[in-house]
Chains A and B, each alone.
Chain A
Amino acid sequence: MSSLLSVGALADGSWLAVPAISFNIEALGDRFWSLTIEGLAYGSIYALVAVGYTLVYGVLRLINFAHSEIFMLGMFGQYAVLMLLGFSPSGNAYAEGAVMTIVYLGIAMIGGMLISGGAAVGLERVAYRPLRKRNAPSLVFLITAIGASFVIQEFVHFVLPALTDGELGGVNAQQPIRLVEQKEQFTIFGASVTNVTLIIIGSALVLALATDMFVNRTKFGRGIRAVAQDPTTATLMGISRERIIMLTFLIGGVLAGAAALLYTLRVPNGIIYSGGFILGIKAFCAAVLGGIGNLRGALLGGLILGVMENYGQILFGTAWRDVVAFALLILILMFRPTGILGETLGRARA
């Protein structure tokens, strides 16, 4: 415990040891299907978060690095809603019956979506709109995004506990409220599929289809695509650019909020101020992988990243998980510099 913050290394330098890299193809073969299913579940969460990066990039050419914190706020949002509903945190799972569990999950998801969506729109208003009014260079937007990310993290780290009497936020992860206990439902090729996996993949699929329809079929979606393609002409055609930008942030935020609930089903102990950071980077990575600015690309990129990462960490050793993800990104960008499905939201197929 107390070597917690020690500087330097043991006399023989053993503390600097690097985890050994392995090549365990046998384990990969043995567990191929269960790794695939787990990877798809994780990948759907990446995909939902990636949509937020990709839409905002498509419309504003801005990489909204604070999006990972929007996701993190969504986790706290759904947690707060569950607390308001009378659930008290404990490490144990509740057994409310299937129907009530789904109702509660639905409410929690809406809570997470509202918080995340609201935060995303608020962030746009407070941080990005004033810069746009002053025609700030794009580098300034990027720095602002990174700054906003820190501000939100530290808000949850230090300010939120003071506001909520220590119930939310602070240095430790929230004590989990577990609505669903993971249980095997059936098996595919010997790999067990749990209820949590089903909920995650199912909800993510529905949300992804809905978003795709919204962007491709509705008037608002057409507006988004128009602004992405050519903001000036879109404005001349009577589209309010500011409103479209707000809508874009809202959609990204809402999906991040939904992803936040799904993520906490999978990882109930993940609700912590720093909990969005790595996941956000991975989701961004997924967006680039699929072709940033491209909605379907983000969805596809998320799934591919989730699955490949899962194979990779069994193949090379669990410590190499992030390395696998980023190596994959570099590899794909070497051959397809604009990502798997290409870049633009407006032009291609959106």
Chain B
Amino acid sequence: MHRRSMRAALVLVAAATLTLAACGDKSAGGSGSGSESSSAATSGASGSSSSSAAPAGGDLAINPLVQIDIDGNEVEASTGTDAVSPAGDGSATCDGVSVAMAGALTGPNAALGLNILYGMQTALKEHNDANANCQVEIKQFDTEGDPQKATQVAPQIVSDASVIGLLGPAFSGETKATGTIFSQAGLLSLTASATNPDLTANGWTNFFRGLANDAVQGPAVAKYLTGSAGFSTVCVVKDNSDYGVGLAETITEGLGDAADPSCAADVKTGDKDFSATVQLIAGAEPDAIFYAGYYAEAAPFVAQLREGGVEAAFVSADGTNDPQFVDQAGSAAEGAYLSCPCGPAPEEFAATYESEHGQVPGVYSVEGYDLMTIILSGIDSGITDRAGLVEYVKNYQGQGLAREYQWDDNGELSSSLIWMYEVG
């Protein structure tokens, strides 16, 4: 008796669910598409995005705002119109030359590696289409962004005789782990994304960095916040990653008195609930909040800040500068400032890139294109060996899409600049 009534109740619940589901379908679908899902303007689908087809919180996107130097002063952006073209003059001749790309091409951090690779491929296509007698090849080496994997991959790159230059490694950790191998082989190592300041202090003569390092980003953003942006109290919140801790330190130092120690908080990567931190910040009533960490935590954090009634400006750095941040946080992301040593993609480049790869350029795509262009122009000038290419890059001076490229003796750019972006 008892069992039968239980079973009947279960069937009833199941039936009710089905009916409701069927009815609900129409009404929710209608209101859903009306209010939310009409625009499909994703600001840039990252490769690892699990829902890249979904609308990005209305039609919010990460837009470039201003370029700043280490003192936080605005610097006029290069227009990119006079950039060196990878096509050259079309008369280059070469044979059996290839360029290696090392970085995360699979795994959780693949989006960044692919952004760089696709940028390189766009440059390569322009070059190979124009130069029938010089067909260069990109050889891909997947490190998954893991220093240990990278040390296994590095010897393969070195032993491939056709490789005369390397664009990478992509991350700081793997660069640190493999730097000696490439240095001993005398192979050019030109990175589009490794920003740990220490990398250029190892005496590697073959290593060049195509963008500003983290030691520039912290002070530049801090000075911008207290200067042009006019914030007088800032809460610095950091996660427990190397990146977050290091960045928060330089930011706090740069902010000086503006950094309010009473609301400086620590969170952990993987945290999704920030209610206590939000309460702490709500009590401090700052002008701005700086978050040193990645988008996976920044998105729920900014959403919970807004729900908790905190209206202060939300500022974060390159770890958050990802379309996923906007996807996850929705309208709470609006007005957030995101810094990045990476440059924005000019329109023409963005269009070509999108038609070739089916997604808009992401973080470091432009750097991939620019640096590949430099290597290709070296090959076009007749260089066929590794030592020649290192020498060529060392003396290089030229305009790229993102910035002017010229390196000092350590392999850092002569002028290191940071971009501020705004979600809007």
Interface residues of A in 156-190 (CB under 8 A from B): 161, 166-176, 178, 181-182
* B37 adjacent to A5 (CB under 8 Å): no
Does chain A have a CB within 8 A of B246? yes
- New A-B pairs, 14, CB < 8 Å, besides A91-B57, A314-B280: A1-B319, A2-B171, A3-B241, A4-B243, A88-B54, A91-B299, A92-B331, A104-B24, A172-B324, A174-B50, A269-B300, A278-B270, A313-B276, A317-B265
* A86 adjacent to B146 (CB under 8 Å): no
**A161, A170, A172, A268: which contacts B296 (Cβ < 8 A)?**
A172
* A319 adjacent to B171 (CB under 8 Å): no
User: How far does the Cβ of B249 sit from chain A's closest Cβ, in whole Å?
Assistant: 6
**Cα–Cα, bound, A269→B274 (Å):** 11
Task: Contacts A31-B279, A172-B296, A319-B268 given; indicate if A7 touches B177 (C-beta within 8 A).
Answer: yes
User: How far does the Cβ of B347 sit from chain A's closest Cβ, in whole Å?
Assistant: 24
User: How far does the Cβ of A254 sit from chain B's closest Cβ, in whole Å?
Assistant: 11
Type the 1/0 row for B11-46, where 1 means its CB is closer than 8 Å to any CB of A: 001000100110011111111110111000000000
Task: Contacts A85-B25, A171-B48, A314-B276 given; indicate if A92 touches B245 (C-beta within 8 A).
Answer: no
Q: Which residue of B lies closest to A16 (CB)?
A: B245
Q: Which residue of B lies closest to A169 (CB)?
A: B50
* A270 adjacent to B300 (CB under 8 Å): yes
**B57, B108, B196: which contacts A171 (Cβ < 8 A)?**
B108
Interface residues of B in 110-151 (CB under 8 A from A): 112, 145-147
User: How far does the Cβ of A265 sit from chain B's closest Cβ, in whole Å?
Assistant: 11
**A5, A27, A85, A322: which contacts B146 (Cβ < 8 A)?**
A5
Does chain A have a CB within 8 A of B273? yes
Does chain B have a CB within 8 A of A103? yes
User: How far does the Cβ of B29 sit from chain A's closest Cβ, in whole Å?
Assistant: 3
**A3, A30, A91: which contacts B329 (Cβ < 8 A)?**
A91
Does chain A have a CB within 8 A of B359? no
* A91 adjacent to B332 (CB under 8 Å): yes
Task: Contacts A5-B109, A91-B331, A94-B35 given; indicate if A10 touches B307 (C-beta within 8 A).
Answer: no
Note all chain B residues with C-beta closer than 8 A to A335: none
Listed from nearest, the 9 A-B pairs whose CB atoms lie closest are A91-B330, A86-B29, A319-B266, A6-B173, A91-B57, A269-B300, A170-B50, A19-B266, A5-B173
Report, as a range, how many residues of chain B touch the other chain.
Answer: 35 or more
A-B contact pairs, 27 of them (CB 8 A): A1-B317, A3-B242, A6-B173, A30-B283, A84-B21, A88-B32, A89-B54, A90-B37, A90-B327, A91-B327, A92-B330, A93-B330, A96-B31, A107-B20, A110-B13, A110-B17, A169-B50, A171-B50, A171-B108, A175-B327, A175-B328, A178-B330, A181-B307, A268-B303, A270-B272, A317-B265, A319-B240
Interface residues of B in 282-335 (CB under 8 A from A): 283, 294, 296, 299-300, 303, 307, 317-319, 321, 324, 326-333
* B51 adjacent to A275 (CB under 8 Å): no
**Cα–Cα, bound, A180→B149 (Å):** 44
Task: Contacts A88-B37, A267-B272 given; indicate if A173 touches B279 (C-beta within 8 A).
Answer: no
* A268 adjacent to B300 (CB under 8 Å): yes
Does chain B have a CB within 8 A of A237? no
Q: Which residue of A lies closest to B242 (CB)?
A: A15
**Cα–Cα, bound, A190→B193 (Å):** 49
Does chain B have a CB within 8 A of A139? no
Note all chain B residues with C-beta closer than 8 A to A310: 275-276
* A88 adjacent to B55 (CB under 8 Å): yes
Task: Contacts A2-B195, A3-B173, A4-B172 given; indicate if A91 touches B245 (C-beta within 8 A).
Answer: no
How many residues of A are counted as interface, with CB atoms below 8 angstroms from the partner's CB atoms?
Answer: 78
Does chain A have a CB within 8 A of B4? no
Q: Which residue of A lies closest to B301 (CB)?
A: A269
Note all chain B residues with C-beta closer than 8 A to A171: 48, 50, 108
* B279 adjacent to A95 (CB under 8 Å): no
* A172 adjacent to B331 (CB under 8 Å): no
Q: Which residue of A lies closest to B300 (CB)?
A: A269
Note all chain A residues with C-beta closer than 8 A to B36: 88, 90, 92, 94
Note all chain B residues with C-beta closer than 8 A to A27: 280, 283
**Cα–Cα, bound, A168→B195 (Å):** 33
Interface residues of B in 167-197 (CB under 8 A from A): 170-174, 176-177, 193-196
Does chain A have a CB within 8 A of B277? yes
Task: Contacts A4-B109, A269-B300, A310-B276 given; indicate if A100 touches B27 (C-beta within 8 A).
Answer: yes
Does chain B have a CB within 8 A of A266? yes
Note all chain A residues with C-beta closer than 8 A to B25: 84-86
Note all chain B residues with C-beta closer than 8 A to A267: 272-273, 300
* B171 adjacent to A5 (CB under 8 Å): yes
Q: Which residue of B lies closest to A182 (CB)?
A: B307
Type the 1/0 row for A196-217, where 1 means its CB is closer than 8 Å to any CB of B: 0000000000000000000000
User: How far does the Cβ of A53 sit from chain B's closest Cβ, in whole Å?
Assistant: 20
Q: Which residue of B lies closest to A183 (CB)?
A: B307
User: How far does the Cβ of A271 sit from chain B's closest Cβ, in whole Å?
Assistant: 9
Q: Which residue of A lies closest to B57 (CB)?
A: A91
**Cα–Cα, bound, A100→B318 (Å):** 40
* B145 adjacent to A166 (CB under 8 Å): no
Interface residues of B in 26-84 (CB under 8 A from A): 26-33, 35-37, 48-52, 54-58
Does chain B have a CB within 8 A of A274? yes
**Cα–Cα, bound, A99→B377 (Å):** 65
